[in-house]
Each structure stands twice: as C-alpha cells, then as structure tokens.
Structure 1
Amino acid sequence: MRIAILDDYQNVAREYADWGSLNARVEVIHDPFPDTETLVARLTEFDVLVAMRERTRFPADVLRRLDRLQLLVTTGPANAVIDIPAARGLGITVCGTRPPFASDTSELAWALILAAVRHVPAETRLVREGGWQMSVGSGLAGKTLGLLGLGRTGSRVARVGQAFNMETIAWSQNLTTEKAAEHGVTVVSKQELFARSDVLSVHLVLSDRSRGLVGAGELASMKPSALLVNTSRGPIVDEDALVHALQERTIGGAALDVFGTEPLPERHVLRTLENVVITPHLGYVTQGSYKVFYEEAVEDIAAFAAGKPIRVVE
C-alpha cells in the first residue's frame, strides 16, 4: 500500500503519529500543487491520500483520474474541497478525524487583535532594526467587539472580549436573542454590527449564504478606526473590496489568517500593506490538533485496511 501525506507545509506529520505501524510505503509531500495536471501526475500511483482540511482540492474531475485511489483521509470531520458524492460514486472511501480544538482559532484571533491594536509587528521590526518606539497603540476596554457569527469559536472570542471589558455584540442569519444572551452578548442587526464595532471578528462557516457576505457596502459602514479580523474563511470577505478599503484607509486595518487563494500568492498586495497583520492560516495549526489529526488518520487507514472503515464522511 502506498500512502501520500499531503499539505504538510511544516514537515511535521511524521512526528505526530506512528506511521510505521501501517506496514506501508509512506511519502510526505510538503508543497502545494501549482495546477491540476501536476497534482494528478504526482498522485496517480498512490492507494491512500491523507489531506489537510481544505488545502488540496479534490473535485470530481481530479478523483476520476486517480485510478489507484481507494481511500482519501481528511483531517477534521468534513472537507469542503472534496467532492464526496463523486468519491462515493467512484468507490473511493473518504474518512475524517475529530475537529481541531475549539480554542485554537479563538486564541489566534486574539493574538491577531492584540498584535494589531498595539502595532506589535511594526514595533518588533523597528527594535530588530535598532529603533525604539514609533506608534501609539489603542486599548480595548470600553470598546465594542462585534462577532459575525456566535458559534463555538465566536462565543469563545466573545468571552475574552468581555474579560477585556469590551461590549460584545453579534449578528448572524440564524442568531437568536436567547442564544446570544447565553454568552452575555447582545444581538444587533447586520448594519448595526458593522457600524458600531471597533473590532469586528468573522466566525462563520463558508457556504453559499456567507460567501462575499462582507462586501464593499459593509466595509463602507465601518468606523474609520475599526479593525476587521478574519480567522474563518477568506471568501466570506470580498478581498478586492477589503484591499480597496485598506488602501484608502476607510477602515483602520485588518488582521487576517485566511485568504481567497491559499497559499497567498507571493506578490499579493495584502503582503505589502502596513495596516494589515497577517498570518498564513494558522488557526488550527497547533500541536494538540495535529496530534489528533495524524493519529486518527493512521487509525482510519488501519481500519480501512482491515475492511472496517471508521469515521466515514457521508
């Protein structure tokens, strides 16, 4: 059995599970594929693929061309870039793992918020270059934290905001007053959320309803000092509209971990803007989540080889 571990950008997958227990040939592929033809040519000889959630795409036309593929394991319980019905029709089993720890992304959101409001990246760079103090940061106490989505991640972000003595408000399409009250959060309209927030943090699942939900109109209604934070999925925010708002400084800045195209193209303008704090999709990239992902991927493969697949993604 030939197994390929994909999307291991940091070259750490072998450290987090006992791949030797599978008695198989295991190859690790670190870099993303530049195009579909390269992907198919590179993976055509493998029986099993282990894919990090929502990095390498597996639409129907790719799956049809991977003749030897029997098992596709995704980290996490679901993967929006795998065509599950197509895989099922081709006789390819798709298995998952438990989701990443709920705290991982909420912690990163706060790392980004604090780095942005206190200008940590710029001041760090200045000190390394021999300088000393160039900016005046802003405090958070008494400010308004807006949550676009109040699920398991958004509610955790809200609790930390409350610890900083911030007013917490939220909106999403299905959010009720009662549900928000459970977290000490006030429900407002979408328009009010954008207009009132000093920090607006996005915590929605990417879907047809949420794609492009934060567009030019929403950005235009924000305070000129406001910070937009996105640790959910890039396409929820209209990237062109966001770049324009940042360049024109109609909002104070952005703190971003996710993008429309990942990895972010080398010459993308977001890499250059001084009013952006930027990280390379690190939300679930922690030792704890990686241990769960890779240990359970090995379990999935072993169970499949024994003829008893587990955690099958339906």
Structure 2
Amino acid sequence: MHIFDCMKPKAIFYLDEDALELTFGPDESTALSRLVDLPYPALVPARFEPSSDVYEDVEVMITGWGTRALTADVLDMFPRLRFIGHAAGSIKAFATPEMWERGIRVTSAARANAIPVAEFALSQIVFCLKHGWQRVREIEHSRLYRKNDDDMPGCYHSTVGLLSFGLTGRLVCNLLNHLEVDVLVYDPFLDPSDAAEYGVKLVSLEEVFARSDVISCHTPLLPETHGLLRGEHFRRMKPGATFINTARGKLVNEPEMIEVLQARPDLFAMLDVTDEEPPVPNSPLYTMDNVVLTPHIAGSLGRECRRMGGMVVEDLKRYFAGEELVGELRSPQLRHMA
C-alpha cells in the first residue's frame, strides 16, 4: 500500500491560489505532506493551458474553487492520475466523462461545505420561528419593543418545510431534531422509506408552502429547477410564514416572489442568495421591510474552508488504505447535483 511505501506518491494542486490558501491551513498541509510529495508548483487555472508537458509520476490531483474542465488534452498530461480530491463542493465546473473512462476516482468535500450551510439555516429557522427579523424592523422603524405577535409560531410544535433532502437538507433535519418541530420535505427523488427513517413527512411542493411556518430551500440549481419557485407557491404561505433561501437565487422567479411579498406584508423572506448577486441597484429587495438580504455567507468562509481540505486529506488516507471513500462521486450522480 502506498501509505507505507518509502517513496510517497506524487501529487499536484490545480485550483485558484486564494482557494489553496483558504482550504489548506498549516494542519491540513502537514497532514497532506505525510501522505504525498508535492514536487511541482501548483497549477493556477487562470495561467494554465494544456500543453505537451507530461507529469509522468503524478497520481493525485487536488482541485478546488477555480478548477477548469479536465478534458482529454489536460488528462493526457497526467497519464498516471488515479485520484482527484476536490476541496470544495460541486465538481460540475471541471467534471468530464473522460475522468471516469480513465478509471480516475473522484471525491468531493461537498459534505464538509454543507455543514456551515446547515448551521446557518438552523440559526435562521429558529430566529424566524420567533419572528426575530420582524422585531428588529419594528425597533429600527419605531423603537417598538414588542415581544410577541399573533402569528409568531415559536419552536414548539411548529412546522418547518425543507425543499430538497440532499446533503444539506439532511444535515438541517438532523439539527432540527433538537427542536420540538414537525418537518415536511419536498423532494421528488426521495424514497419514502428514507423519509420514514428520518422521521419527516414527504409532501408536494404546494403542501410544503401551504403548511410550513418556515420554509428552508436547499434545492440544487439544475435546468429543471431554474425558476421552480413561483408566485403561486408564495401565495400559499401561511400568515406570518417565512421563506429562507441558502441554495441558489435562480431557483426563484424573483419578480413573482417580490409581487407576493409586496401584497402580503405578513410574510417574510430571508435571502442569502438572489437571482443576481448582488441584486441590481434598483431592486425592491433592498428596501422591502419584509426582506432581509445577506451576501451569500451561508457556505464555508474563513477557517471553515479548512474543513474541506481536511476532508480531502481523510479521503486520500482511505484511498491509500483501500477503504471506501466518504465523498466519492460517480458520473450518474451528477444529474441530480448542483
């Protein structure tokens, strides 16, 4: 096994310089150096072009934010490449059929990146169940200290709706187990037996909007989900309900959502993502009292990014030991992934 060989396998980085610094701190870099040698300078996508150069001895490639498509002419430069560890979430920016055709194992740190998203979503779900943002706005506008309102659901026997039940949705569900709330899930690909195992109720998209006190969106952006959430869904929301989006802004038909929120000031939207980021300067989202915007901060930031580098290192250990890779991805999975 490689891990015990005198000559460690050779590896190379192929990602943005900033991403490398963010995802591999001192601990992660030290752990990686115990497994592989890194004899070559990191390849920076903005300055890299396929060439006749051949890295004959590179078995491991570490990718991340900024990595570009690993086309046949790129892979030809790495004839011994057998493992790609992606220190970020989605691999769609660089994944090609040639990777799998050549038998290359691919692992992603999407699970690690989902953790801060789930934590952020939980914080907002709890705050929104208490109508915290409404109280903030009242204090800002009128210095009114009002603890309660008739529509405030709280965290006891209220209903939380989750849109999609992938990595992030399941992590959010696990965190919600600490609360006494009912969880509804919309996910057309979720097996009912899996829903039962998690103790959630699988319902239609329309029912999630109609029954939930807070709706938290974790749907991947795919061609078939672009503009999925329309005015008709927001009009179904209960009085005082809140919509939280930490997924992608283009899942929402934004003009239709704005129209409903303007007509229904009892509703609230907490948007970490928008169709355009940031929204266009004249967007009503900036000034609506029932909307809060945050600048796409739910995902990994700062030291949180090192968790992704750490996950790649751990899967690399498993690869050398012949064990199952926690973050391994295969070609058919990409169809339903962001």
The TM-score with structure 1 as length reference comes to 0.65
Q: State the SS of the aligned residue for 2:156.
A: coil
The TM-score with structure 2 as length reference comes to 0.62
Equivalences for residues 276-287 of structure 1 within 5 A: 276-285=291-300
Answer whether contact 2:23 2:87 (CA < 8 A) is retained: no
1:200 and 1:153, CA in 2 relative to 1: closer, same or farther beyond 3 A? same
* Equivalent AA in structure 1 for residue 16 of structure 2: L
- Asked if residue 183 in structure 1 is aligned to residue 198 in structure 2, the reply is yes
Identity %: 26
1:97 and 1:154, CA in 2 relative to 1: closer, same or farther beyond 3 A? closer
Equivalences for residues 218-229 of structure 1 within 5 A: 218-229=233-244
Distance (whole Å) between structure 2 residues aligned to residue 251 and residue 64 of structure 1: 54
- In the other structure, the counterpart of 1:6 is 16
Equivalences for residues 200-279 of structure 1 within 5 A: 200-249=215-264, 252-261=267-276, 263-265=277-279, 267=281, 269=283, 270-279=285-294
Unaligned runs of 5+ residues in structure 2 are 1-10, 56-60, 317-324, 332-338
How well do the aligned residues superpose, as a CA RMSD in angstroms? 4.8
Query: How far is 1:109 from its partner?
Result: 0.7
Equivalences for residues 168-179 of structure 1 within 5 A: 168-179=183-194
- In the other structure, the counterpart of 1:304 is none
Equivalences for residues 85-164 of structure 1 within 5 A: 85=97, 96-101=107-112, 103-118=115-130, 134=145, 136=147, 138=152, 139-161=154-176, 163-164=178-179
Would you say how many aligned residue pairs link Structure 1 and Structure 2? 289
1:80 and 1:248, CA in 2 relative to 1: closer, same or farther beyond 3 A? farther
Answer whether contact 1:146 1:170 (CA < 8 A) is retained: yes
Q: State the SS of the aligned residue for 2:157.
A: coil
Output one character per residue of 1:238-273: Cα deviation in whole Å (capped at 9) or x when no partner: 233223333333661112233334x53573734444
* Equivalent AA in structure 1 for residue 184 of structure 2: I
Answer whether contact 1:6 1:49 (CA < 8 A) is retained: no
Output one character per residue of 1:178-228: Cα deviation in whole Å (capped at 9) or x when no partner: 332222222333322211111112233333333322112211222242111
* Equivalent AA in structure 2 for residue 223 of structure 1: K
Larger radius of gyration: 2
Output one character per residue of 1:83-129: Cα deviation in whole Å (capped at 9) or x when no partner: 5248889x9x89543333354322211112234444656877999x9
Q: Which moved more, 1:177-186 or 1:156-165?
A: 156-165
Distance (whole Å) between structure 2 residues aligned to residue 85 and residue 273 of structure 1: 45
Unaligned runs of 5+ residues in structure 1 are 29-39, 302-309
* Equivalent AA in structure 2 for residue 107 of structure 1: E
